[in-house]
Amino acid sequence: MGEMWKGNHAIAEAAVRAGCRLYAGYPITPSTEIMEYLSARLPEVGGSFIQAESELAGINMIIGGAACGYRSLTASSGPGISLKQEGMSVLADEELSAVVINVVRYGNGLGTLYSAQCDYHRETKGGGNGDYRVIVLCPSSIQEAIEHVFLAYDLAEKYRMVAMIMTEGALGQMMEPIEMPDFIEKKRMPWALDGHYSYKKIGIFDRNSMKEAIDLNQKYNTIKENEQRWESDNLDKADYVFVSYGLPGESTKGAVEQLRDEGYQVGFIRPITAWPYPEKAFNLINPNVKGIITVESNATGQMVDDAALSIKKTKRDKNVPTYCLPYVYGIPAIKEIKKDFMKILSGEIKEVY
Amino acid sequence: MGKTRKTPSIIDKPMNFCPGCGHGIIIRLICEVLEELGQDNNVIFPIGVGCSSNLGGGLVADRFHCSHGRAAAVASGMKAVSPENIIVSYQGDGDAYSIGIAETINAAYRNENITVVTVNNTNFGMTGGQMSWTTMPKQKTTTSQLGRDCDKTGYPMKFPELVASQFNIAYAARGSVHSPASINKTKSYIKKAIESQMNNEGYSVVEVMSPCPVNWNMTPVEAMDRIKNELIDYFELGEFKQREVIK
Ligand SMILES: Cc1ncc(C[n+]2csc(CCOP(=O)(O)OP(=O)(O)O)c2C)c(N)n1
């Protein structure tokens, strides 16, 4: 049995062990413990910590670290991640590797302090200007969040892009026993700026935007093909398949287990990558499935769009109804999910698609 | 007898500046200084958005195009991970003092060990001569067509003076390129700024008054005269924060 760690502290220590050399950011609940921890910890291991004047400056400092080829990190929540969108678009444009953590809290504008999944659309579709993608990992336990820190850096560097860890307020604040991985050594990325002009560059006005866009799209297609990740169970037999990620994903798993004990043929998909969306999991679903049900911690129902598109793509001849159970914020209780499933069966809750 | 001045080796090809523009002189000065200090193969330029962006097309040196106004933050991140490199941000007045004032001033506030070069042409050159935070009182621009009304839009900002008087920085100066003498002086300021970074003394900034004949609706010679006769009365030339350690 491992040591007890708070989610945000565990993520921060994992970043140090994954070779992160620069953190820059601005405090915001419920992400702040990440930066508090790193303010003391990074200098101990020869890294740098900068308390930025804003999230906008924070992401731009990360751009500096990433351009010089070192593992760099910023974390925030809600409106803070809004301010980072400009920088994320720049990172995509320059094909730089960096990791951004969103400890999601609920709400528009200033928002609230409730744990939620309201930023799904923005993170998976891209929130800054342009035509880019970000790899999005969504852990459902602290141990998995730690693994995602290492994975995020590896994917970010393999594909030279931003990898985001989309965790949730509650996951950042809770404690679990975990195993912390060993330290790894990271050198400057070979393609980085080193002051010696090791790699030739062209001026911005000499760029071939058409070719760049086509190559970038090719890269995104490769990622869609190779990097879908998910956890699933009983898909081949299920009449109804629940789809849910993060902490609501864990509740959903619990609800599916109990419903199966009660005799219902249900299964689940827990997306681990929200982008690329695990479409391939939908291939494994029983051809006679009666419905897909997303369980989400937001008000409008966001992931339901991707679930509906995925079932359409994989079961083209069927018109499988897709339902959404949006619990606004927090983590839905197993009994709530079960109760709402009965409403779907009775026709009281209608499909979205 | 005049000295022959060799083109610095990191200058690769001509840049696309308008006739009579000051940017080319300033970039040349920076490159000469870097070469003289043996840093021309050890430099990274975080570049602003504006006419300053042309720097990227003409140098064989590491550089990064920052989004508009953010170069000082990018520079701070670069210096944090790569303290062995000389980091010189190159920005216009709109980039550094309007949209980027938060990043620009906070880098000075933290006394980041970076060098900031700002090119003050009293307008937004790249986008066709709009008013900037250094546009002079009564100056006509495309967004102050009757002449700048400073009571409504603010008075021209003096950034080097501001940070020199308020923050614990290493070096702040303002130069100009309107005459050979002012060009030589500006070069000495840029040299002191980069030396202070090499010596880990902290933040250095050199603002350079620069002509923008196309947007000022002047000939190149008239534009140089405007700097001499009008601008440097307000934007005083000189050093506002001297280095404490001179080696
Ligand atoms: C976020 C954003 N807003 C606006 C612009 C458009 N823009 C490009 S350059 C520029 C003005 C640059 O002026 P200045 O910094 O004074 O430099 P100059 O061109 O005069 O050298 C503007 C407004 C942009 N690129 N990005």
Same domain, A107 and A188: yes
Q: Indicate which CATH number applies to the domain containing A332.
A: 3.40.50.920
State the DSSP code for B157: P
Looking only at the bridges linking them, the beta strands covering A3-6 and A175-178 are: antiparallel
Cα B101 from Cα B14, distance rounded (Å): 30
Helices A7-17 + A142-159 axis angle, to 10: 40
**In the structure, what pLDDT confidence band is assigned to residue B156 with cuts at 50, 70 and 90?**
very high
Q: Could you list the residue range(s) of the whole structural domain that residue A266 is in? A: 231-346
Looking at the domain assignment, is residue A188 inside a domain?
Answer: yes
Give me A266's structure tokens: 């249900």
Boundary (domain end) residue, out of A198, A226, A254 = A226
Same domain, A209 and A120: yes
Cα B92 from Cα A295, distance rounded (Å): 50
CA distance B149 to chain A (A): 31
Closest residue in A to B45 (Cα) is A195
Same domain, A239 and A166: no
On the CB side of A156, CA atoms within 13 Å amount to 32
A173, A162, A166: which is closest to A71 by C-alpha? Answer: A162
Looking at the domain assignment, is residue A351 inside a domain?
Answer: no
Q: Which residues contact A195 (CB under 8 A, 6 or more apart)?
A: B41, B42, B43, B44, B62, B82, B84, B85, B86
Same domain, A138 and A155: yes
Res B2: pLDDT:
65
Total domain count, chain A: 2
Which residue matches tokens 């030279």?
A160
Q: Which residues contact B40 (CB under 8 A, 6 or more apart)?
A: B8, B9, B10, B31, B34, B61
- Residues of chain B contacting A194 with CB distance shorter than 8 Å: 62, 82, 85
Q: Is B16 exposed, middle or buried (0-12, 13-18, 19+ CB in 10 A)?
A: middle
Count CB pairs under 8 A between chains A and B: 135
Q: Which residues pair with B82 in a beta bridge?
A: none
* B247 pLDDT above the threshold of 90: no
Looking at the domain assignment, is residue A352 inside a domain?
Answer: no
* B206 pLDDT above the threshold of 90: yes
3-state DSSP assignment of residue A272 = coil
Across chain A, mean pLDDT equals 97
Ligand 1 binding pocket, CB closer than 6 Å: B 48-52, 68, 92-95, 119, 121, 124-127, 132
* A99 pLDDT above the threshold of 90: yes
Q: Which residues contact A297 (CB under 8 A, 6 or more apart)?
A: A106, A115, A116, A117, A118, A168, A246, A247, A248, A326, A327, A328, A329, A330, A331, A332
Give me A237's structure tokens: 């037999």
Cα-Cα-Cα-Cα torsion B13, B14, B15, B20, nearest 10 degrees, comes to: 160
Looking at the domain assignment, is residue A154 inside a domain?
Answer: yes
State the DSSP code for A236: T
b/e sequence B187-222, b meaning 16+ C-beta within 10 Å: bebbbbbbbbbbeebbbbbbbbbbbbbbbbebeeee
Looking at the domain assignment, is residue A342 inside a domain?
Answer: yes
Q: Which residues pair with A240 in a beta bridge?
A: A266, A291
Query: Which of B61, B86, B102 lies at the smallest CB-CB distance from A54?
Result: B102
* B246 pLDDT above the threshold of 60: no
Boundary (domain end) residue, out of A226, A256, A290 = A226
Q: Indicate which CATH number applies to the domain containing A39.
A: 3.40.50.970
Distances (CA, A) of B179 to B17, B119, B224, B237: 19, 16, 8, 13
| Helix (H) and strand (E) counts in chain A | 13, 14
Residue A317: how many other CB atoms lie within 10 Å:
5
Q: Is A218 exposed, middle or buried (0-12, 13-18, 19+ CB in 10 A)?
A: exposed
Contact A324, A301 (CB under 8 A): yes
Residue B95: how many other CB atoms lie within 10 Å:
33
**Nearest CA residue ID for atom 4, ligand 1:** B68
A55, A53, A6, A54: which is closest to A34 by C-alpha? Answer: A6
Q: Which of B124, B136, B141, B207 to mutate to test the pocket of ligand 1 (most atoms within 8 A of CB)?
A: B124
Same domain, A208 and A243: no
**B47-98 confidence digits (pLDDT tens):** 999 999 999 888 999 999 999 999 999 999 999 999 999 999 999 999 999 9
Cα A133 from Cα A161, distance rounded (Å): 8
CA distance A179 to chain B (A): 29
**In the structure, what pLDDT confidence band is assigned to residue A199 with cuts at 50, 70 and 90?**
confident
Q: Lowest-confidence range among B4-18, B78-92, B191-205?
A: B4-18
Same domain, A129 and A253: no
**B91-134 confidence digits (pLDDT tens):** 999 999 999 999 999 999 999 999 999 999 999 999 999 999 99
Query: Which of B43, B58, B77 lies at the smallest CB-CB distance from A62?
Result: B77
Give me B24's structure tokens: 């080319």
* B205 pLDDT above the threshold of 90: yes
| Contact at CB, A68 and B67, closer than 8 angstroms | no
| Contact at CB, A56 and B73, closer than 8 angstroms | yes
Res B6: pLDDT:
86
| Contact at CB, B70 and A193, closer than 8 angstroms | no
Same domain, A29 and A146: yes
What is the average per-residue pLDDT within B217-233?
Answer: 98
Q: Which residues contact A217 (CB under 8 A, 6 or more apart)?
A: none
Which residue matches tokens 């880990």?
B200
B225, B112, B233, B239: which is closest to B188 by C-alpha? Answer: B239
Res A97: pLDDT:
97
**B28-51 confidence digits (pLDDT tens):** 999 999 999 999 999 999 999 999
Looking at the domain assignment, is residue A353 inside a domain?
Answer: no
Distances (CA, A) of B6 to B28, B36, B186: 11, 12, 18
Same domain, A220 and A235: no
Query: Which of B56, B60, B106 lies at the smallest CB-CB distance from A197?
Result: B60
- Residues of chain B contacting A129 with CB distance shorter than 8 Å: none
Cα A178 from Cα A14, distance rounded (Å): 11
Greater pLDDT, B225 or B244: B225
Same domain, A96 and A240: no
| Contact at CB, B66 and A90, closer than 8 angstroms | yes
Cα A22 from Cα B76, distance rounded (Å): 11
| Helix (H) and strand (E) counts in chain B | 11, 7
Looking at the domain assignment, is residue A72 inside a domain?
Answer: yes
Res A33: pLDDT:
98
Which residue matches tokens 């009994």?
A335
Distances (CA, A) of B60 to B42, B52, B56, B100: 12, 16, 8, 26
Query: Which of B67, B73, B81 lies at the smallest CB-CB distance from A52?
Result: B73
Contact A294, A324 (CB under 8 A): yes
Q: What percent of chain A is predicted at pLDDT more than 90? A: 95
Cα A96 from Cα B68, distance rounded (Å): 18
Cα B53 from Cα A297, distance rounded (Å): 44
Same domain, A62 and A128: yes
Amino acid making up residue A84: K
Instruction: Name all domains of chain B by residue range, CATH numbers in brackets.
Output: 23-242 (3.40.50.970)
How far apart are the CA of B93 and the centre of ligand 1, in A?
9
**In the structure, what pLDDT confidence band is assigned to residue A238 with cuts at 50, 70 and 90?**
very high
| Contact at CB, B62 and A196, closer than 8 angstroms | yes
* A1 pLDDT above the threshold of 70: no
Looking at the domain assignment, is residue A12 inside a domain?
Answer: yes
Helices A142-159 + A209-226 axis angle, to 10: 140
Q: In residues, how long is chain B?
A: 247
Boundary (domain end) residue, out of A193, A210, A226 = A226
Same domain, A283 and A198: no
Q: Degrees (nearest 5) of the Cα angle B128, B131, B133?
A: 130
Contact B61, A197 (CB under 8 A): yes
3-state DSSP assignment of residue B180 = helix
**Nearest CA residue ID for atom 10, ligand 1:** B50
Cα B142 from Cα B120, distance rounded (Å): 17
Same domain, A52 and A174: yes
* B3 pLDDT above the threshold of 80: no
Q: Which of B18, B27, B68 to mutate to test the pocket of ligand 1 (most atoms within 8 A of CB)?
A: B68
